[in-house]
């Protein structure tokens, strides 16, 4: 059993402490917006916020995540109001297949939280998620649009 | 609101989905556009022909048979229907008919296959007719109600107006009456110059759910009582499963069952996938690897190299004059050998499918590029007839050709069949996905060019040696043993025609098929053929002491469309003006999938091994551009996919197995490595070409030719990581 705080809810989940957080989120908490891509913290599809920090949830155990504030893509919006990154993603038509975009959006939201007006160099350094469709230029444009707003 | 409805994974949808299949079967209409009996969507709204459903609130549901995997065809196809339908675009939504429904209605929705960049080009004619037919029926219904001639009525944005009286009504109000009319025998399609929806860069219909985590991909499917399976197939292709020790994992948490899957694989079924995977890793498995365990990249390379020898048999794909004689008697010769490795598709979402099997029914939920092929796989693996099977398509987390295959669907059914009544979701680990791809085929190519005394190219011999995809996947498409697709980009004519005129030309293929299973990998044979030909063109230009662009142009007088895109790229990148200090340019062109494409790159190179790509310009002539915003994304994405393969890709074979296991050994480009792609669309009209794949062909040669311009060094093999060359 583990106690996890996900998207503001305290959940008691029947899960072993060494289970990767990704799978506790997907299978035990039932939140499938966070995606599995590699399981070795390479691709970023499973990025969530842990205490506000963009983190690849496949590389964090449930035990390590206990007591921390976890936000997944499902918890990024405030009720019916989408987060500015989600709004920009829709306005700029960023996703192609979209599978990597939950992680991409979470990584971008954390970047903008830290640096509201990131330079291209800031983006290059902070956004290291793999997108096989290759929608990178839309990602960059959308970030700059948000920063300019 | 515009939205593509992905199936909701609850019991109700499960039952409704099943019922809808039953309803389709019960009526079993084979008239493409309705007929007197009214076909209805699951919510009861009438079909106005198979492609269009109109709801009472004026919402128009457009049926899409091809699969959406990020390429944007779902939106593009809806635009084509809506254009002819004259409906209100803001009230358009889409849905997938199932393959089972289509088969039950004698394939009323045509081909479901979404590969070969065919999504738009192969269905544009009949989906536009579907829209036009519905429009005619809807207008006729209004005219009948008003007792006026239909010719006196007009329609705009789904509102029908009678000119004389000024009366108006809407599609939603006349839909029921329209559905009862006999469809017109023939309809006239709009002149492209009158298009108002097609040709616009409209926003995609399926974006919102991709930003909130709500979009359902195959990996996200949930059914009541569902279990999860992890699988291991014999890591040596062609090997078999010998034995496994179930007792060692039977007591592990969550484990329900260990099952044999065919002759080659074993799966653990558990409550969660994490439990299944953990137990699978602990499961002692003995493989019978067979003779293929002796095969390595080195042994394959040696075998392919032998095929480059002119004494070995080869299929001739393109020929004029006598290239061998012309080369033998030439003043000057240039020869080079290139090679291209296996590549894994590495879709972001690993292969998966969810199946439920009972003696009466087998249903599968999965992302697939070919709903009908998946359906056929379900029939075969379940042993049940068509009316007892169906496939529910969900969003694909990438396809790139991989999800046109049905191996994972078959496996899911074979597992579910051993647990009747229990839904089972099979998910491959990334490692399994890397080990059991359907790889871009491996080839080598020896090219010989010959010049006359004035440095005119008089002969070209292009000799491929290597793997045929059709031999493995579609042997019925071979022509007296020859794989015609092997010549994509260097073919005599057709949708992937060679763009140069050479007086003596010989293009041939010594087919050699190693045991590693090949597949259609985005761009397919255009990829290596474009690298070989376009890099060698640069070598020839250099040998002739001529500018690479000018050298090409002289050979392209009879190929105006190839030349037009090359010129467009040259102009946009400023080929005739000097590049910035330290920056070098490369250029390439090819035809594939019915479209003409060209690309140019500006790069700088540090220490001979660190490449920075500063600029990419790409041009395409696909005949017509349905949605320029999506075409632009396909062009840019093709560069990311093609350059990832060039820099980081390449799958190697050791002891019969693929060595790369995850993104740490099979990397992919990140945002910091990718410049903006400047695309130039020059649709010339009169033909329909594809968009998703052709551009990938020019990505690598444009960069490799720029690398030569920068360093004077020719790179003739891929990936660059093997030569310690990487991004700066």
Q: Compute the distance between CA of residue B104 and CA of residue B335 in angstroms, rounded to an integer.
A: 57
- Residue B35, pLDDT above cutoff 80: no
Residue contact A97–B399, C-beta within 8 A: yes
User: How close A67 comes to chain B (CA, Å)?
Assistant: 22
Q: Compute the distance between CA of residue A52 and CA of residue A55 in angstroms, rounded to an integer.
A: 9
What kind and span of H or E run contains A103?
Answer: helix A101-114
Tokens of B294: 């002796």
**Count of CB atoms situated within 10 Å of the CB of B312:** 12
User: How close B5 comes to chain A (CA, Å)?
Assistant: 15
What's the whole-number mean pLDDT along residues B581-607? 98
User: Which residues of chain A make contact with B204, given a CB cutoff of 8 A?
Assistant: 93, 95
pLDDT in tens, B108-150: 999 999 999 999 999 999 999 999 999 999 999 999 999 999 9
Q: Does A117 touch chain B (CB under 8 A)?
A: no
| A/B interface, count of CB pairs below 8 Å | 176
pLDDT in tens, B601-657: 999 999 999 999 999 999 999 999 999 999 999 999 999 999 999 999 999 999 999
Beta-bridge partners for B3? B93
pLDDT in tens, A55-94: 999 999 999 999 999 999 999 999 999 999 999 999 999 9
User: Which residues of chain B make contact with A127, given a CB cutoff of 8 A?
Assistant: 670-672
CATH of B297-343+439-727, one of 3.40.190.10, 3.30.365.10, 3.40.50.920, 3.30.2350.10: 3.30.365.10
Q: Does B361 touch chain A (CB under 8 A)?
A: no
CATH of A84-148, one of 1.10.150.120, 1.10.260.40, 3.40.710.10, 3.30.428.10: 1.10.150.120
Q: Compute the distance between CA of residue B5 and CA of residue B64 in angstroms, rounded to an integer.
A: 11
CATH of B218-290+351-427, one of 3.30.70.330, 2.40.30.10, 3.30.365.10, 3.40.190.10: 3.30.365.10
- Residue B407, pLDDT above cutoff 80: yes
pLDDT at B17: 33
- Edge to edge, what strands does the sheet with B52-54 contain? B3-4, B92-95, B60-63, B52-54
Residue contact A96–B217, C-beta within 8 A: no
The percent of residues above 70 in pLDDT, for chain B, comes to 95
pLDDT in tens, B184-241: 999 999 999 999 999 999 999 999 999 999 999 999 999 999 999 999 999 999 999 9
pLDDT in tens, B261-318: 999 999 999 999 999 999 999 999 999 999 999 999 999 999 999 999 999 999 999 9
Q: How many CA atoms lie within 13 A of B410 on its CB side?
A: 16
Q: Compute the distance between CA of residue B586 and CA of residue B365 in angstroms, rounded to an integer.
A: 45
Q: Compute the distance between CA of residue B491 and CA of residue B501 in angstroms, rounded to an integer.
A: 12
Residues 522-581, chain B, touching A (beta carbon < 8 A): none
Q: Please state the ipTM of this predicted complex.
A: 0.99
Q: With cut-offs at 50, 70 and 90, classify the pLDDT of residue B16.
A: very low
Residue contact B671–A45, C-beta within 8 A: no
3-state DSSP assignment of residue B360: coil
pLDDT in tens, B361-402: 999 999 999 999 999 999 999 999 999 999 999 999 999 999
Q: Compute the distance between CA of residue B643 and CA of residue B661 in angstroms, rounded to an integer.
A: 20
Q: Compute the distance between CA of residue B72 and CA of residue B634 in angstroms, rounded to an integer.
A: 9
Domain topology for B3-209: Aldehyde Oxidoreductase; domain 4 (3.30.365)
Of residues B528, B319, B538, B522, the one with CA closest to residue B444? B528
**Are A53 and A77 contacting, i.e. CB atoms less than 8 angstroms apart?**
no
Task: Quote the distance between the C-alpha of residue B528 and its chain's center.
Answer: 17
Beta-bridge partners for B491? B497
What's the whole-number mean pLDDT along residues B522-531? 98
Of residues A9, A10, A12, the one with CA closest to residue A28? A12
Residue contact B350–A124, C-beta within 8 A: no
Contacts of B646 (CB under 8 A, 6+ apart): B699, B700, B703, B704, B718, B719, B720
Residue contact A133–B70, C-beta within 8 A: yes
Residue contact A97–B674, C-beta within 8 A: no
Among the listed ranges A60-69, B4-13, B60-69, B437-446, which one has the minimum average pLDDT value? Answer: B4-13
**Are B527 and B520 contacting, i.e. CB atoms less than 8 angstroms apart?**
no
Burial (CB count <10 Å: 0-12, 13-18, 19+), residue B52: buried
The CATH H-level (homologous superfamily) assignment of domain A2-75 is: Beta-grasp domain (3.10.20.30)
Contacts of B349 (CB under 8 A, 6+ apart): A35, A37, A97, A99, B217, B218, B219, B367, B396, B397, B398
What's the whole-number mean pLDDT along residues B504-519? 98
pLDDT at B37: 80
Domain ranges across chain A: 2-75, 84-148
User: How close B531 comes to chain A (CA, Å)?
Assistant: 21
DSSP per-residue letters across A29-76: S--TTS--S-SSSSS-TTEEEETTEEEEGGGSBHHHHTTSEEE-GGGS
Strands in B125-239 per DSSP E: 153-156, 159-162, 168-170, 227-233
- Residue B29, pLDDT above cutoff 60: no
The percent of residues above 90 in pLDDT, for chain B, comes to 95
Residues 212-271, chain B, touching A (beta carbon < 8 A): 212-217, 219-220, 222, 228, 253
Q: Give chain B's mean pLDDT.
A: 95
Contacts of B239 (CB under 8 A, 6+ apart): B264, B287, B288, B289, B290, B292, B293, B656
- Closest partner residue to B676 (CB to CB) among A90, A99, A137 is A137
Say if B3-209 and B218-290+351-427 have the same CATH topology. yes
pLDDT at B250: 95
pLDDT in tens, B486-497: 999 999 999 999
Of residues B179, B180, B156, B176, the one with CA closest to residue B168? B156
Domain ranges across chain B: 3-209, 218-290+351-427, 297-343+439-727
Q: Compute the distance between CA of residue B310 and CA of residue B313 in angstroms, rounded to an integer.
A: 8
Q: Compute the distance between CA of residue A95 and CA of residue A142 in angstroms, rounded to an integer.
A: 11
pLDDT at B5: 52
What's the whole-number mean pLDDT along residues B528-533? 98
Q: Compute the distance between CA of residue A93 and CA of residue B205 in angstroms, rounded to an integer.
A: 10
Q: Compute the distance between CA of residue B40 and CA of residue B87 in angstroms, rounded to an integer.
A: 19
Tell me: cis bond preceding B719? Omega within 30 of 0 counts.
yes
pTM for the model: 0.95
3-state DSSP assignment of residue B582: coil
pLDDT at B7: 42
Of residues B198, B543, B257, B608, the one with CA closest to residue B417? B257
**Are B86 and B176 contacting, i.e. CB atoms less than 8 angstroms apart?**
no
**Are B462 and B310 contacting, i.e. CB atoms less than 8 angstroms apart?**
no
What's the whole-number mean pLDDT along residues B541-545? 98
The percent of residues above 70 in pLDDT, for chain A, comes to 100
pLDDT at B36: 57
What's the whole-number mean pLDDT along residues B58-85? 98
User: How close A51 comes to chain B (CA, Å)?
Assistant: 20
Alpha helices for B574-676 (secondary structure H): 628-647
Contacts of B584 (CB under 8 A, 6+ apart): B602, B603, B604, B605, B706, B707, B709, B710
Sign of the alpha-carbon dihedral angle for B639, B642, B646, B650: positive
Q: With cut-offs at 50, 70 and 90, classify the pLDDT of residue B15.
A: very low
What kind and span of H or E run contains A113?
Answer: helix A101-114
Q: Give chain A's mean pLDDT.
A: 98
User: Which residues of chain A make contact with B210, given a CB cutoff of 8 A?
Assistant: 89, 95, 98, 101
Tokens of B660: 């790369």
pLDDT in tens, A33-54: 999 999 999 999 999 999 999 9
Q: Compute the distance between CA of residue B325 and CA of residue B33 in angstroms, rounded to an integer.
A: 59
Q: Compute the distance between CA of residue B176 and CA of residue B53 in angstroms, rounded to an integer.
A: 10
- Residue B23, pLDDT above cutoff 90: no
User: Which residues of chain B make contact with A37, given a CB cutoff of 8 A?
Assistant: 348-350, 430, 663
Of residues B492, B500, B497, the one with CA closest to residue B558? B500
Alpha carbon distances (Å) from B87 to B17, B60, B134, B285, B315 = 27, 8, 10, 59, 52
B675 DSSP assignment: P
């Amino acid at each position: 059993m583990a106690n996890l705080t996900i998207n503001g809810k305290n959940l008691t989940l029947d899960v072993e402490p060494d289970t990767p957080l990704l799978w506790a989120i997907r299978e035990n908490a039932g939140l499938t917006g966070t995606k599995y891509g590699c399981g070795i913290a390479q691709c970023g599809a499973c990025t969530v916020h842990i205490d506000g920090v963009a983190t690849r949830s496949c590389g964090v155990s449930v035990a390590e995540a206990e007591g921390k504030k976890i936000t997944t893509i499902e918890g990024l919006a405030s009720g019916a109001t989408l987060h500015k990154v989600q709004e920009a993603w829709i306005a700029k038509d960023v996703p192609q297949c979209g599978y990597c975009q939950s992680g991409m959006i979470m990584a971008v939201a954390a970047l903008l939280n830290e640096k509201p007006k990131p330079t291209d160099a800031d983006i290059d350094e902070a956004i290291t998620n793999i997108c096989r469709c290759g929608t990178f230029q839309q990602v960059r444009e959308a970030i700059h649009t948000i920063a300019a707003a | 609101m515009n939205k593509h409805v992905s199936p909701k994974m609850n019991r109700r949808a499960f039952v409704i989905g099943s019922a809808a299949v039953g309803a389709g079967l019960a009526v079993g209409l084979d008239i493409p556009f309705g007929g007197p009996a009214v076909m209805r969507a699951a919510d009861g709204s009438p079909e106005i022909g198979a492609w269009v459903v109109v709801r009472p609130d004026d919402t128009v549901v457009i049926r899409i048979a091809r699969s959406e995997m990020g390429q944007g065809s779902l939106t593009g196809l809806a635009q084509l229907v809506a254009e002819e339908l004259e409906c209100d675009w803001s009230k358009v939504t889409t849905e997938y008919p199932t393959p089972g429904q289509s088969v039950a209605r004698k394939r009323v929705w045509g081909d479901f296959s979404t590969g070969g960049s065919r999504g738009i080009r192969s269905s544009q004619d009949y989906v536009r007719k579907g829209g036009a037919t519905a429009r005619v029926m809807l207008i006729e219904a209004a005219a009948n109600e008003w007792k006026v001639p239909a010719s006196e009525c007009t329609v705009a944005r789904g509102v029908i107006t009678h000119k004389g009286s000024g009366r108006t009504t809407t599609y939603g109000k006349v839909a029921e009456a329209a559905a009862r009319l006999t469809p017109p025998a023939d309809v006239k399609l709009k002149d492209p110059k009158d298009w108002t929806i097609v040709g616009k860069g409209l926003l995609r219909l399926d974006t919102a759910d991709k930003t909130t985590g709500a979009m359902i991909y195959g990996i996200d499917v949930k059914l009541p009582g569902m279990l999860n399976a992890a699988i291991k197939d014999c890591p040596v292709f062609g090997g078999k499963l010998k034995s496994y020790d179930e007792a060692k994992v039977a007591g592990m948490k969550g484990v329900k069952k260990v099952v044999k899957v065919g002759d080659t694989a074993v799966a653990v079924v558990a409550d969660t996938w994490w439990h299944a995977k953990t137990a699978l890793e602990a499961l002692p498995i003995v493989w019978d690897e067979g003779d293929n365990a002796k095969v390595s990249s080195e042994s394959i390379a040696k075998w392919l190299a032998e095929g480059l020898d002119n004494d070995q048999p080869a299929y001739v794909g393109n020929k004029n004059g006598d290239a061998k004689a012309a080369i033998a008697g030439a003043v000057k010769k240039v020869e080079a050998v290139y090679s291209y490795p296996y590549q894994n598709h590495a879709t972001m979402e690993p292969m998966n499918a969810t199946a439920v099997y009972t003696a009466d029914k087998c249903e599968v939920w999965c992302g697939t590029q070919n709903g009908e092929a998946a359906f056929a796989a379900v029939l075969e693996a379940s042993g049940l007839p068509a009316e007892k099977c169906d496939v529910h398509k969900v969003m694909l987390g990438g396809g790139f050709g991989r999800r046109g295959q049905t191996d994972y669907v078959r496996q899911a059914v074979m597992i579910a069949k051993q647990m009747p009544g229990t839904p089972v979701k099979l998910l491959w680990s990334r490692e399994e996905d890397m080990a059991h791809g359907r790889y871009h085929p491996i080839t080598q190519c020896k090219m010989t060019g010959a010049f006359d005394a004035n440095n005119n190219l008089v002969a070209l011999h292009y000799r491929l040696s290597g793997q045929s995809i059709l031999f493995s996947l579609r042997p019925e498409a071979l022509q007296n043993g020859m794989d015609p697709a092997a010549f994509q980009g260097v073919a005599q004519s057709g949708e992937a025609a060679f763009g140069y005129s050479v007086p003596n030309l010989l293009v041939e293929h010594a087919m050699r098929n190693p045991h590693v299973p090949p597949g259609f990998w985005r761009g397919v044979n255009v990829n290596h053929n474009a690298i070989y030909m376009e890099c060698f063109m640069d070598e020839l230009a250099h040998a002739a002491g001529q500018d690479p662009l000018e050298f090409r142009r002289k050979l392209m007088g009879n190929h105006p469309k190839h030349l037009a895109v090359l010129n467009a790229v040259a102009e946009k990148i400023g080929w005739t003006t000097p590049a910035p200090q330290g920056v070098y340019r490369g250029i390439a062109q090819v035809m594939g999938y019915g479209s003409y494409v060209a690309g140019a790159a500006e790069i700088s190179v540090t220490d001979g091994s660190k490449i920075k790509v500063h600029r990419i310009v790409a041009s395409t002539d696909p005949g017509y551009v349905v949605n320029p915003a999506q075409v632009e994304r396909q062009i840019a994405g093709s560069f990311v996919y093609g350059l990832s393969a060039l820099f980081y890709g390449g799958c190697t074979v050791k002891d019969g197995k693929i060595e790369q296991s995850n993104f740490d050994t099979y990397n992919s480009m990140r945002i910091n490595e990718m410049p903006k792609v400047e695309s130039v669309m020059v649709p010339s009209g009169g033909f329909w070409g594809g968009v998703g794949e052709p551009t990938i062909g020019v990505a690598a040669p444009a960069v490799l030719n720029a690398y030569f311009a920068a360093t004077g060094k020719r790179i003739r093999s891929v990936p660059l990581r093997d030569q310690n060359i990487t991004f700066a």
